[in-house]
Chain A
Amino acid sequence: MKHRGKGIGCMWYPIGFTVAANPSAATVKVNEDGTATLLTGTVETGQGSLTVLGQIAAEELGISTEDVHVVSADTDATPMDTGAIASRTTYVTGNAIQLAAERAKNILFEVAAPMLGVRPDQLEARDRKIQVKGYPQSALPVGEVANHAQNGAGTPAIGSASYNPPTVAMDPETGQGKPFSTYVYATQIAEVEVDDETGEVQVIRIAAAHDCGTAINPMLVEGQVQGGISMGVGMALEEEMLFDDQGRQINPNLTNYIMPTSLDMPHIDVDIVENFDPTGPFGAKGVGEPTAVATSAAILNAVYDAVGVRVPNLPATSEKVLAAIKAKRNADPKRVSAS
């Protein structure tokens, strides 16, 4: 007989390294037509981080994502970066990029101010224009200003900056300190179906509500959540590296190391919890790793709700779930079916 159950996994997760410095540097160059080139030492590892970083530079310069070309990952050409680790790219590299773009923008403001007859601090960059705050009719295309900056004033609009999250060392005895600048929070709720004759667990759906501060690109946040959940499903139910008694792996291949395929994936509803972190670029924090944290907890709690058995050692393979159901039946023979 099949039983349905629901379970919650709730979590928190930090952004960046534990206390240790993990700086990023960035350079933003505004071209003479108002497009821009961003130099970053981070690596695109498939998550879409370069798109997000381009959006951050674009936002600061008042231009579109398409207007920013991102050059990344060449130690000869790009500034140092601690890299694609610790869910830090949007927050740490993003902060460096925002600062670099601001410096380039300030050069544009210096050049545009006399052209518009105002002070530089009266200007803003929006919709591909440098315009007077509160009086957008007085504006110049960003390309015209950038061209004048480079070829007229002789001050090309290039900005460089770095950022490192502020932390306070932890006491070695008590662990008291400020190891991270900020954290994100999330809840995932799973519905499962458990077959009490085979122990098989099917994850039906997961509702995932994730905080990432401002979602710079909601589509990429959703992609991260879906990917993280796939890893969580594998951790909960299937994946396990096994060793023989001589310490040699016995399933180092994708035939015998079972991981979720698209057919094992539940229906996923992603909600981005509205939030704004004043220390992040445009309020953003991060989302990469946290998406894989709460899934296995939610699934195993749903199994508990469905059939009343707790599997305390992952992965909860069908064999383990069935053994737990049988043990429960033997301990409580009057109850025909579990839960």
Chain B
Amino acid sequence: MDEKVKVADRGKTLEDLKQTDADLRLPSVVEPAHFPIETLAPEARQQTPAVGQRATRPDGRLHGLGQTKYIDDITFPNMLHAKIKRAGIAAALIKSIDTSEAEKMPGVMAVLTGNEIPVNSFGPSYQDQPVLAYERVFHAGDGVAAVAALTEQIAVEALDKIKVEYEPIEAVFDPMLAMQEDAPKVHPPHDNVYATKAIKKGDVEKGFAEADKIFEGRFSTQMIEHVPLEPHASIAEWDGNGRVTLWSSLGRITLGRADISRTLNMPINKIRIVGTVVGGNFGGKNEITTEPVLALLSKKTGRPVKMIYSREEEFIASTTRHPFIMDYKTGVMNDGRIVARKVRLVLDGGAYCSWSETTLGKACILSAGPYNIDNLHVEAFCTYTNKTMAGAMRGFGAPQVCFAYESHMDDIAHDLGIDPLEIRMLNAFEEGSLSPTGQVLQSVVVKESLQTAAERFGWKEFSK
């Protein structure tokens, strides 16, 4: 102690200062704490056999330390920042786009509109979505022009200088109205209903005739956003050799590369996608968004270009969960056995198909629930509306139909005076049950899951 005071009294040497500085600094990556490993069992991830181990993630330490590099943390020399101007009008013809004032702004390096994109359309089932809207706006979140600038702030300011002239046209927002003959067409000349599916098993009318009781109900669900913590983000670099590399938050890089190849009209082997660490997907990052735009802005400027969606863009310009309108009609015997069910589903797909076809198909197959129903008829429709597009989201229509068939199930149980657990046990699939599509089901544990959850919850003992 005295020694240190003396040192301080003498005044600090350069060595002292260096030491003080080193003491104050935290290492950029903290070394793992050293425990006396020989006294502990090996960690789960070091043990064999590997399957069944509660192995920690190899990327866990940096996540825990907040040092994982997401696209927001990645920067390249001379990198530019891009922003996209959103239409803000749900349905319109674009009369003109004037970017001249934006191009004159100091710090603005390039502006891009839809006519500069070699193939200005994409989509997993139908290529009905423009990368940047050019002739027509289909929903308010459509991008109409993009700017690459030295800073994000300059890019945002430049968007205000872009003048777009719109001619408003009639829009439709309600899926039931959109299905009507005289509804305004979202994608003329195509009908608004762009996908229908059906499942028929047994004879549903005969089933209803034999049933002791018939129950009906209509259920509906809302539009939901994925809300990943990390919004959609990408960096594009078009290099001098004519190859483009994209660092992207895409969850599906193989499909993404094919889509980018199509929109840019260039061979797949000239495109590289590096999937970065993704801060949440939930189905919302299964399609390209800004990647072709950034690639072309990079080509124009010869510099890497980054864009990260704002939270608002994440809501208005990325896919969402489909709102459903679901009509259920079920015939049951007095003992609770379901003998017939009719289901009608209407999906609000928003402005573009995206993953609607898949969502419709899965919802259709799953809509009767994990129950043996000999007589089943499901019909399902998906329709365009001038709203944010619905697409893939965790469950692909299953959470919507599950809410309906399970609500309906409890209504039936309540009316018949049967315990909700019992009525499900009575109707549940078993090993070898036939699915609504006639598939023989294997490794079926519906009843086991019902019993396990009921036991854990204390279903029978529960009192209000």
Contacts and interface: CB of A to CB of B under 8 A. Distances in A.
Interface in B191-239: 197-201, 217-225, 227
Contacts, number: 395
B459 A10 contact: no
A18 B365 contact: yes
Given A175-B378, A207-B457, A241-B315, A8 B54 contact: no
A43 B224 contact: no
B151 interface: no
Given A65-B53, A126-B49, A313-B221, A85 B252 contact: yes
B222 A66 contact: no
A282 B449 contact: no
Given A41-B253, A82-B255, A273-B452, A185 B365 contact: no
The size bracket of the interface on A is: 35 or more
Nearest to B398: A293
B283 A85 contact: yes
A175 B197 contact: yes
B78 interface: no
The size bracket of the interface on B is: 35 or more
A248 B90 contact: yes
Interface stretch (B96-104, B266-274, B288-296): B266-274
A89 B257 CA distance: 19
Nearest to A251: B315
Nearest to B276: A73
A218 B378 contact: no
Given A11-B369, A185-B449, A277 B223 contact: no
Q: Which of A50, A58, A189, A294 has the most CB of B within 10 A?
A: A189
Contacts of B241: none
A46 B45 contact: no
A297 B437 contact: no
Nearest to A5: B464
Contacts of A236: 403
B437 A175 contact: yes
A110 to B, nearest CB: 22
A315 B351 CA distance: 23
Contacts of B280: 45-46
A312 B407 contact: yes
Q: Which of A179, A180, A241, A282 has the most CB of B within 10 A?
A: A241
B384 to A, nearest CB: 12
Given A76-B272, A175-B364, A239-B225, A310 B55 contact: no
Interface string A262-286: 0000000101011111110010010
Contacts of A269: 456-457
A310 B48 contact: no
A293 B395 contact: yes
Interface in A210-234: 210-211, 213-220, 228, 231-232, 234
A126 B438 contact: no
Interface in B12-65: 43-59
A235 interface: yes
Contacts of A62: 48-49
Contacts of B134: none
Contacts of A228: 394
Given A85-B286, A289-B395, 5 more contacts: A9-B402, A10-B428, A170-B437, A211-B443, A297-B405
The 6 residue pairs across chains A and B that have the minimum distance between CB atoms: A73-B275, A83-B252, A247-B90, A252-B315, A175-B199, A297-B406
Interface of A: 3-14, 17-18, 41, 43-46, 48, 50-51, 54-56, 58-59, 62-66, 68-70, 72-76, 80-86, 126-128, 170, 173-180, 182-183, 185-189, 191, 205, 207-211, 213-220, 228, 231-232, 234-236, 239-241, 243, 245-249, 251-254, 257, 259, 269, 271, 273-279, 282, 285, 288-290, 292-298, 300-301, 304-306, 310, 312-315
